[in-house]
Amino acid sequence: MKKLYVKAKSSKYPIYVGSKLLQKIQILYKHKLSGVKNVILISTNKVPKKYKTMVKKSFKKKNFITLDIKDGEKSKNIKNIILINNKLSKNNFSRDDLIISLGGGVIGDLSGFAASIFKRGIKFIQIPTTLLSQVDSSIGGKTGINNKYGKNLIGCFKQPELVICDINSLGTLPKRDLLAGYAELVKHALIGDAELFSFLQNNINKIFNDHDILQEAIYRSALVKAGIVMKDTHEKNIRAYLNLGHTYGHAIESFYKYDGRLLHGEAISIGIVMAFKTSLKLNLCSLEHLHVITDHFNKVGLLTDM
């Protein structure tokens, strides 16, 4: 297991990366459990029941309730935020109680935003179960929902109590979902860790089959994002680096109306290539740079063009 800290202005929290961590939640969070009476697990039917059971076992002495929300970008809406808040109120949750997000980026964004506004703030834990959410969306405190004009236009910054990245939870994901997360991992290597990109190139055929290699990649990717977030918690300057490929990527997703034809990470891999092509036209990168990243995405099986 590897551990790092995010030190934001208002909080400090750990990120754990390793295998079989779902069985250790009580140990990892023990120091903050004393005041918690009620726990809600927000997840989706795509998350295997066995993972939900593992989480529940860590809170067997608490009033533990669950709420499954349909997965997919279209679920990031105000109706689900109201649904979560009504569930909390109905079960007499207080500010000292706990929301646990178990799932991908959609569930994490919804849970975090609900946690930020219920009674002006309730504690929550991120347990990302997709590669994309482990390397990106679970880190940094961005929460939000969409409106008809675009993604994440309603939201705020709400840091979690901790983030638990259990590599074993990736074992049930389709290869396509793993690749979508890999696009964000590559993004972090490109903006903040050239050695990580070399590591990915050297292990491109083994990364999804070797837990040690995958753990190292996730950990180093998280280090890049955490480092940027700590310098710019509220996205005033350098945090914009994390948007590499996202201007084009979000435009592509919007064009397809988030209908599932493209996963977020697939839109981002295309967006990154488009960003490099734009940089080439502006003489901000070389043709070799464009070829290296395009070749890497092609080798691993990610989209580089619409």
Residues belonging to the active site: 120, 142, 184, 225, 235, 239, 243, 246, 250, 264
- Please say whether the beta carbons of 161 and 32 come within 8 A: yes
- Please say whether the beta carbons of 167 and 18 come within 8 A: yes
Distances (CA, A) of 153 to 77, 144, 156: 11, 7, 9
Rounded to the nearest angstrom, the gap between the alpha carbon of residue 30 and the centroid of all alpha carbons in its chain is 23
Handedness of CA 278, 282, 288, 292 (dihedral sign): negative
- Please say whether the beta carbons of 81 and 114 come within 8 A: yes
Residue among 78, 80, 79, 22 at smallest CA distance from 53:
22
Q: Which helix (H) or strand (E) holds 41?
A: strand 38-43
